């Protein structure tokens, strides 16, 4: 079975390639909805589950609770302790991963067709009845604390934390969801139970499956997995403020290079101009060698190994952001090049050739992403979380194609504001002065 | 034991679900491997050259990787940057990577663009054009790359020092990125010399994986790569061999950027040899048993669990896919308040106990189950399969060796693993590294 077909782009340049993946919408007898890309070729299923909220649901003073709780889901359930759970999972040759970010608690599972029921039952028990043993809590807490101490000596993480703190005021996005040494050290088993109750509930669950499973089997699986969860969880956070201002922040850190994160206010995913913004970002700061920043900062001047920008969309905030590292002696020059490119694209837009080439790249590369059960399930659940409909893979490229040069000019002037750029520089830069 | 009885039922009944692979050789000596996966109309096109950092002339460390960067400059018919721009204009992605034993280039595109990819890749196999300006700018880029990936990371610096100490004579001791003072001297002539010497069809492997038919790939490959004349400069890859290691080697790196001290060790270890992979298979299972799980491995149980745990993290790793003998590695991050000597002693006790008693039967059976299942999961990632075959062929293994590997892993006995541990996990044939914070930060 072909998951999708490409139109013959070589012959019909005007006809965009489409990802013709067949997505079924499955609603369980108990009322839980999932998206399914059925592909029986390999006898396993990739299952992706998301609970909206993530680390933003930490209670006041409990920063890091959701993150630590998420790490403890695989540390025992019912009569299985940490080791018993790991053995049971490995005996089935299943894999489960649990992680939390700013907006989401994510579960990725894959299991063989031949023991699917047992694997799903084990996952259900972990999700609904985690043990939170004190010993496991202390052991995993030790790992989180070690990670936090390492972060304090990692220039990229330091820059990112500084940038968040400047951007997001008192919102949870302003600090790391991993918490601090102080807050994590103080977390108790009761805090884990409370975080579990807040973050894992049926009113915020999104599910996608890809692989060797039918709609009917998936429907039954959904009820098995989620029936034991509470109907509702904690209230989701409000919109984040945007406190960034233009300027340069410098944080001293030893090393041969300075690491820089830069950016300003971005654009919402549901903004009518989002696709124009996507094209612009690709032209300015895409990871490809022909992108303007890669070309100007790396290919022409050799100032960095790599530079890229991206449109960052949290549930409650948006940023245009970029990152690079450059020798302490040259980082100032690189910042000036970025400023100049920012001004240039805002004032002059892009060329016809750049627009055409970028459309071809974006539309041509889109179907290449649907290449395996794991990646497909992950994309399908992501689409649900940002409110897309199951026909999106078939319509997305037409939306890219529909962007005109007028759209791009208008959006460039609106999106890229050089004076608003905040650079956070972590290192010992020469000739770069902090503005505040 | 009931648990394992159930497991055996699960996977014993599963027939071998191998990927569909076809291989052949072009008239000029270029090896070709085709992996079919018709689920999506996508193809990965890779060309692997049997040359890497361990094939560099003395004093030119980093030249293999530098040339990899320069291969994206122009050819007789393409301007600098036009290669990637052409791939991107087809909606494709391209990149490359360099190891000690190989340098590989790849594109991932819609399956109907394969012909163009072959045309581009065949062109730069022989027609590279380099200007002095390309050299100067790109050399600055690789020096920034070294600063970013090595010089900014105390852990990477320790690893580099340990490798240099591990290999006294074999060029595996050279960092792939190069030593900075030698990178600064790499010039156009050095790059062209490496290119002319090693980039030829009879030193290359073509891997095509995805929605393709082997016969169509053969016709296309004959058309684009077939006309390229083989080189008579390609010789057997015989590198200076290591002398026997007769003394334990130890080193300590102190750096103010270290927060978590750790102890790590690499043991000299044999690699997979064509037709003789069983020792490497035993070492692969040894790594999984010792440090492959944060809950059930011997390191996790012995160092991180129990009443008085000594470690926050631990692991063991081994990758036997190399041309010459490589390393088996272990790694322990102690709990705060536990010093590196204590952590190392505890790690050594776990290793010594294992050599004495051998694997627990349940643990052993569980790892075998996962290895069997991995054959099923691996088929979901055709890109990964392409790399698996390309890498193996680049280090002297055959398609048959790759296909035999799962059965060889499955045939490993507990005694094999115990014996491999006894032979390899010997501190006298190892380098032990300690990573520590700067001296002044250590409280007396």
Interface contact B384, partner A, CB < 8 A: no
Does the CB of B79 have a partner CB in chain A at under 8 Å? no
Residue A13 falls within a domain, yes or no? no
Are A257 and B144 a contacting pair, CB within 8 Å?
A: yes
Set of chain B residues whose Cβ sits within 8 Å of the Cβ of A367? 40-42, 91, 110
What is the pLDDT at residue B4?
Answer: 36
B38 CB within 8 Å of a chain A CB: yes
Residues contacting B188, CB < 8 A, separation 6+: B130, B132, B135
Q: Give a yes or no: residue A432 inside a domain.
A: no
- On whether both A198 and A142 belong to a single domain, the answer is yes
Q: Are residues A59 and A205 in the same domain?
A: yes
Give a yes or no: residue A207 inside a domain.
yes
Whether residue A162 is found in the same domain as residue A94 = yes
Residues 141-170 of B with CB under 8 A from A: 141-142, 144-145, 147-149, 151-152
Q: pLDDT, tens digit, for every residue of A170-193?
A: 999 999 999 999 999 999 999 999
B6 and A43 in contact by Cβ < 8 A? Answer: no
Q: Among A122, A305, A329, A370, which would you mutate to test the B interface (most chain B Cβ atoms within 10 Å of its Cβ)?
A: A305
Each residue of A326-349: pLDDT tens digit? 999 999 999 999 999 999 999 999
In angstroms, what separates the C-alpha of A286 from chain B's closest C-alpha?
A: 12
Q: Please indicate whether, in this complex, the C-beta atoms of B14 and A357 are within 8 angstroms of each other.
A: no
Nearby residues of B407 by Cβ (< 8 Å), 6 or more positions away: none
In a domain, A382, yes or no: yes
Mean pLDDT of chain A: 93
Looking at A163, A193, A226, the residue that finishes a domain is A226
Of A93, A257, A289, the CB nearest to B148: A257
Q: Is the domain of A328 the same as that of A283?
A: yes
Say which DSSP state B257 is in: T
- Please give the ipTM for the structure prediction: 0.90
> Is any Cβ of chain A less than 8 angstroms from the Cβ of B437?
no
Question: In chain B, which residues have their Cβ closer than 8 Å to the Cβ of A259?
Answer: 152
Q: Are residues A286 and A193 in the same domain?
A: no
User: What is the full per-residue pLDDT of chain B (444 aa) written as tens digits?
Assistant: 233 333 333 444 344 456 899 999 999 999 999 999 998 889 999 999 999 999 999 999 999 999 999 999 999 999 988 999 899 888 999 999 999 999 999 999 999 999 999 999 999 999 999 999 999 999 999 999 999 999 999 999 999 999 999 999 999 999 999 999 999 999 999 999 999 999 999 999 999 999 999 999 999 999 999 999 999 999 999 999 999 999 999 999 999 999 999 999 999 999 999 999 999 999 999 999 999 999 999 999 999 998 889 999 999 999 999 999 999 999 999 999 999 999 999 999 999 999 999 999 999 999 999 999 999 999 999 999 999 999 999 999 999 999 999 999 999 999 999 999 999 999 999 999 999 999 764 444
A402 in a structural domain: yes
User: A253 and A213, same structural domain?
Assistant: no
Q: Do A298 and A341 sit in the same domain of this protein?
A: yes
> Residue A323 belongs to a domain with what CATH number?
3.30.830.10
DSSP secondary structure code for residue A302 in this structure: -
Spatial distance between the Cα atoms of B178 and B172, rounded to a whole number of angstroms: 12
Q: How far apart are CA B152 and CA A154, in angstroms?
A: 9
For A45, which residue in chain B has the nearest alpha carbon? Answer: B377
**pLDDT (mean) for A295-305:** 94
Co-location of A47 and A100 in the same domain? yes
Q: Which residue of B has its CA nearest to A75?
A: B295
Q: What pLDDT shows up at residue A289? A: 83
Q: How far is CA B175 from CA A268, B71, B136, B279, B390, in A?
A: 44, 20, 21, 27, 22
Whether A314 and A205 share a structural domain: no
Q: Which residues of A touch B10 (CB under 8 A)?
A: 92-93, 112, 114-115
Q: Regarding predicted confidence, which is higher, A288 or B95?
A: B95
A236 is a domain residue:
no
Place of tokens 């300075």: A258
pLDDT of A10 above 80: no
What's the confidence (pLDDT) of residue B92?
92
Confidence check: pLDDT of A9 > 70: no
Nearest to A373 among B336, B370, B380 (CB): B380
For residues A302 and A182, membership in a common domain is answered with no
Answer yes or no: do A288 and B293 touch at CB < 8 A. no
What are the counts of helices (DSSP H) followed by strands (DSSP E) for chain B?
16, 11
Question: Residue A371: pLDDT band by 50, 70, 90 thresholds?
Answer: confident
Q: How many domains does chain A have?
A: 2
* pLDDT tens readout for residues A45-72: 999 999 999 999 999 999 999 999 999 9
Q: With 0-12 CB in 10 A as exposed, 13-18 as middle and 19+ as buried, what is A121? A: middle
Q: Which residue range is the domain that position A287 belongs to? A: 247-427
C-alpha angle B199/B203/B206, rounded to 5°? 95
**Which one of A226, A256, A275 terminates a domain?**
A226
The distance of A256 to chain B (nearest Cα, Å) reads 6
The answer to whether the CB atoms of A368 and B296 lie below 8 A apart is no
Residue of A44, A143, A151, A289 to mutate, interface with B, max B Cβ within 10 Å: A289
pLDDT attached to residue A14: 32
Residue A113 structure tokens: 């067709």
Residue A14 lies in a domain: no
What mean pLDDT is predicted for residues A237-254? Answer: 97
List residues of B with catalytic annotation: 68
In terms of DSSP bridges, do strands A205-211 and A33-38 run parallel, antiparallel, or are they unpaired?
Answer: parallel
> Which pLDDT score is estimated for A18?
52
Q: Which of A226, A255, A290 is the last residue of a domain?
A: A226
Measure in Å the smallest separation between the Cα of A49 and chain B Cα atoms: 19
Is residue A237 in a domain?
Answer: no
Residues A264 and A150 in one domain: no
What pLDDT, on the 0 to 100 scale, is given for residue B16?
44
Residues A345 and A398 in one domain: yes
Angstrom distance (rounded) from CA B193 to CA B199: 10
pLDDT in tens, A311-320: 999 999 999 9
Q: Are A58 and A234 in contact (CB under 8 A)?
A: no
């Amino acid at each position: 079975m072909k998951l999708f077909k490409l139109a013959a782009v070589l012959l019909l340049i005007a006809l965009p390639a489409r990802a013709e993946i067949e997505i079924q919408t499955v609603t369980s007898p108990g009322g839980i909805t999932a998206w399914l890309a059925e592909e029986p070729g390999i006898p396993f299923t990739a299952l992706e589950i998301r609970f909206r909220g993530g680390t933003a649901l930490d209670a006041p003073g409990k920063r890091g609770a959701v993150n630590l709780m998420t790490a403890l889901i695989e540390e025992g359930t019912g009569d299985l302790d940490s080791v018993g759970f790991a053995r049971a999972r490995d005996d089935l040759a299943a894999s489960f991963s649990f992680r939390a970010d700013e907006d989401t608690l994510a579960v990725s599972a894959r299991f063989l067709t031949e023991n699917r029921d047992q694997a799903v039952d084990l996952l259900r028990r972990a999700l609904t009845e985690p043990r939170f043993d004190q010993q496991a809590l202390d052991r995993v807490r030790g790992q989180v604390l070690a990670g936090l101490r390492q972060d304090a000596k990692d220039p990229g993480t330091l820059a990112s934390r500084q940038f968040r703190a400047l951007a997001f005021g008192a919102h949870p996005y302003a600090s790391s969801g991993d918490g601090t040494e102080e807050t994590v050290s103080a977390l108790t088993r009761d805090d884990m139970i409370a975080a579990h109750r807040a973050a894992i509930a049926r009113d915020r669950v999104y599910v996608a499956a890809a692989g060797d499973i039918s709609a009917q089997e998936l429907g039954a699986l959904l009820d098995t997995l989620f029936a034991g969860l509470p109907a509702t969880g904690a209230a989701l956070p409000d919109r984040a403020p945007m406190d960034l201002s233009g300027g340069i922040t410098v944080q001293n850190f030893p090393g041969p290079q300075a690491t820089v994160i830069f950016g300003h206010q971005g654009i919402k995913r549901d903004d009518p101009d989002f696709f124009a913004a996507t094209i612009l970002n690709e032209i300015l700061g895409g990871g490809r060698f022909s992108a303007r920043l890669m070309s100007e900062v790396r290919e022409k001047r050799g100032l960095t190994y790599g530079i890229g920008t991206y449109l960052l969309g949290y549930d409650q905030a948006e940023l245009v952001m970029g990152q690079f590292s450059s020798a302490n002696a040259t980082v100032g020059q690189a910042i000036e090049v970025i400023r100049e490119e920012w001004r240039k694209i805002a004032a002059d837009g892009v060329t016809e050739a750049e627009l055409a080439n970028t459309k071809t790249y974006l539309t041509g590369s889109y179907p290449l992403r649907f290449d395996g059960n794991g990646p497909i399930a992950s994309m399908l659940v992501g689409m649900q979380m940002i409110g897309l409909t199951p026909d999106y893979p078939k319509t997305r490229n037409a939306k890219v194609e529909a962007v005109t040069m007028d759209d791009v000019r208008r959006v460039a002037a609106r999106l890229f504001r050089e004076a608003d750029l905040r650079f956070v520089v972590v290192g010992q830069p020469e000739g770069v002065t902090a503005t505040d | 034991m009931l648990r394992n009885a159930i497991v055996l039922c699960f996977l014993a009944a599963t027939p071998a679900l191998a990927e569909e692979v076809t291989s052949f050789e072009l008239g000029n000596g270029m090896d070709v491997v085709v992996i079919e996966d018709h689920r999506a109309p996508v193809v990965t096109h890779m060309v692997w050259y049997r040359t890497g950092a361990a094939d560099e002339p003395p004093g030119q460390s980093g030249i293999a990787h530098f040339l990899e960067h320069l291969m994206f400059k122009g050819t007789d018919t393409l301007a600098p940057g036009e290669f990637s721009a052409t791939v991107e204009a087809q909606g494709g992605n391209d990149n490359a990577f360099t190891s000690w034993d190989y340098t590989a280039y790849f594109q991932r595109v819609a399956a109907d663009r394969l012909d163009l990819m072959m045309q581009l890749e065949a062109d730069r196999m022989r027609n590279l054009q380099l200007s002095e300006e390309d050299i100067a700018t790109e050399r600055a880029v690789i020096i920034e790359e070294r600063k970013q990936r090595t010089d900014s990371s105390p852990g990477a610096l320790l690893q580099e020092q340990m490798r240099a100490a591990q290999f006294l004579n074999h060029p595996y001791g050279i960092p792939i990125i190069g030593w900075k003072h030698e990178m600064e001297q790499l010039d156009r002539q050095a790059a062209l010399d490496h290119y002319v010497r090693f980039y030829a069809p009879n030193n290359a492997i073509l891997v095509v994986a995805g929605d393709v038919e082997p016969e169509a790939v053969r016709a296309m490959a004959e058309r684009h790569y077939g006309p390229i004349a083989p080189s008579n400069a390609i010789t057997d890859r015989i590198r200076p061999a290591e002398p026997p290691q007769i003394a334990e080697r130890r080193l300590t790196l102190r750096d103010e950027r270290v927060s978590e001290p750790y102890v790590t060790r690499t043991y000299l270890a044999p690699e997979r040899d064509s037709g003789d992979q069983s020792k490497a298979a035993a070492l692969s299972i040894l790594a999984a048993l010792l440090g492959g799980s944060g809950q059930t491995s011997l390191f996790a149980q012995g160092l991180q669990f129990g009443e008085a745990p000594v470690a926050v993290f631990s692991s063991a790793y081994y990758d036997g896919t190399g041309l010459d003998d490589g390393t088996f590695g272990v790694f322990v991050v102690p709990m705060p308040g536990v010093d590196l000597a204590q952590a190392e002693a505890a790690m050594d006790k776990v290793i010594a106990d294992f050599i004495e008693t051998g694997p627990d039967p349940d643990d052993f059976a569980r790892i075998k189950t996962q290895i069997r299942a991995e054959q099923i999961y691996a088929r979901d990632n055709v890109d990964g399969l392409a790399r698996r075959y390309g890498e193996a062929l680049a280090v002297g293994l055959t398609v048959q060796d790759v296909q035999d590997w799962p059965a060889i892993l499955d045939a490993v006995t507990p005694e094999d693993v115990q014996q491999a541990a006894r032979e390899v996990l010997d501190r006298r044939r190892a380098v032990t590294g300690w990573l520590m914070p700067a001296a002044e930060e250590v409280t007396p």
